């Protein structure tokens, strides 16, 4: 069985593939290395043969996790690394190693699925947009605060914005003007994300007309999907790219 990990700034997304790689036999989202190991240990009949991982965390933090996986499961870990070019996509950053690896893998996955120009939008701790032309040239992208960061900035820098997760979830059933603090903040931040999406779409249209594919991924992709009915919602887009960047044979 193959373990796949996507270590973002807030959460580790994991899944276990059967050895034929065809289907995920288990998956989850956890907040720490320890919680990951616990979830995996609790799986009946787990026999890991390989592991591939992408991380946007500090090298030291990632190394710790790699060591813990080796010590617990005896599994060697293959980590995605930056590249100037891969699978027909050319990294557009001045310094290719500085492009977030989750962005890079989502781009590889998107370009493979679209077989043409694409706009890849990822809604995690940060919200990111990346533009790839039909011949695989990465034009660059944009980074702005995602939902978790917008919330926590408001909370940290005001005296009176405080509410719990359950209230936050209820507040997002509608997007009409808020009549409580939680509604005003949750809906306001959601509209910021949607505004971000619409601006990226406008730019993509100015480059490619209607001839491009939009991908939505990341934990908060659902919050914006209504605003882009033509988009492909692909929650595991980073994992699609991870398999391309870390082939295991």
Ligand X SMILES: Nc1ncnc2c1ncn2[C@@H]1O[C@H](COP(=O)(O)OP(=O)(O)O)[C@@H](O)[C@H]1O
Ligand Y SMILES: CC(C)(COP(=O)(O)O)[C@@H](O)C(=O)NCCC(=O)O
- Catalytic residue positions, numbered: 102
Q: Which is nearer to ligand Y, 99 or 204 (CB)?
A: 99
Residues numbered 110 to 129 that lie near K ion (CB under 5 A) are: 124
The size of the interface with ligand Y (CB under 6 A), counted in residues, is: 14
How far apart are alpha carbons 213 and 207 in whole angstroms?
13
| Residues 5/53, Cβ–Cβ less than 8 Å | yes
The dihedral region occupied by 115, where left means phi > 0, alpha psi between -120 and 50, and beta the remainder, is: left
Q: Which is nearer to ligand X, 85 or 222 (CB)?
A: 222
CB of 238 to K ion, least distance (A): 6
How far apart are alpha carbons 18 and 222 in whole angstroms?
28
Residues numbered 135 to 174 that lie near ligand Y (CB under 6 A) are: 143, 146
9 is in an annotated binding site: yes
- Binding of ligand X at residue 109 (CB under 6 A)? no
Q: Which is nearer to ligand Y, 58 or 166 (CB)?
A: 58
- Binding of ligand X at residue 9 (CB under 6 A)? yes
3 state SS for 148-168:
HHHHHHHHHHCCCCCCCHHHH
| Residues 82/33, Cβ–Cβ less than 8 Å | no
Can you tell me which of 8, 109, 110, 241 binds ligand Y, judged by CB under 6 A?
8
Pairing of strands 24-30, 50-55: unpaired
84 is in an annotated binding site: no
Residues numbered 17 to 56 that lie near ligand Y (CB under 6 A) are: 56
Contacting residues toward ligand X, per CB under 6 A:
8-11, 29, 124-125, 147-148, 218-220
């Amino acid at each position: 069985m193959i373990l796949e990990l996507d270590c973002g700034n807030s959460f580790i997304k994991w899944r276990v593939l059967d050895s034929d790689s065809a289907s995920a036999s288990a998956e989850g989202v956890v907040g720490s290395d320890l919680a990951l190991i616990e979830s995996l240990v609790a799986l009946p009949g787990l026999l890991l043969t390989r592991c591939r991982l992408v991380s946007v965390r500090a090298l030291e933090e990632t190394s710790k996790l790699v060591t813990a996986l080796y010590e617990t499961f005896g599994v060697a870990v293959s980590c995605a690394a930056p590249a100037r070019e891969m699978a027909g996509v050319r990294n557009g950053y001045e310094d290719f190693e500085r492009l977030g690896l989750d962005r890079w893998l989502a781009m590889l996955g998107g370009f493979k699925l679209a077989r043409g120009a694409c706009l890849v939008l990822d809604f995690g701790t940060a919200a990111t947009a990346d533009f790839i032309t039909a011949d695989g040239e990465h034009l660059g992208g944009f980074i702005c605060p995602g939902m978790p960061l917008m919330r926590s900035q408001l909370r940290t820098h005001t005296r009176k914005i405080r509410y719990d997760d359950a209230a936050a979830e209820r507040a997002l059933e509608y997007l009409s003007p808020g009549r409580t603090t939680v509604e005003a903040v949750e809906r306001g931040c959601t509209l910021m994300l949607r505004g971000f999406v619409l601006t990226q779409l406008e730019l993509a249209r100015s480059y490619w007309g209607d001839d491009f594919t939009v991908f939505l991924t990341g934990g908060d992709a659902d919050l914006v999907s209504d605003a882009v009915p033509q988009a492909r919602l692909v929650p595991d887009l980073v994992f699609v790219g991870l398999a391309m960047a870390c082939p295991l044979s």
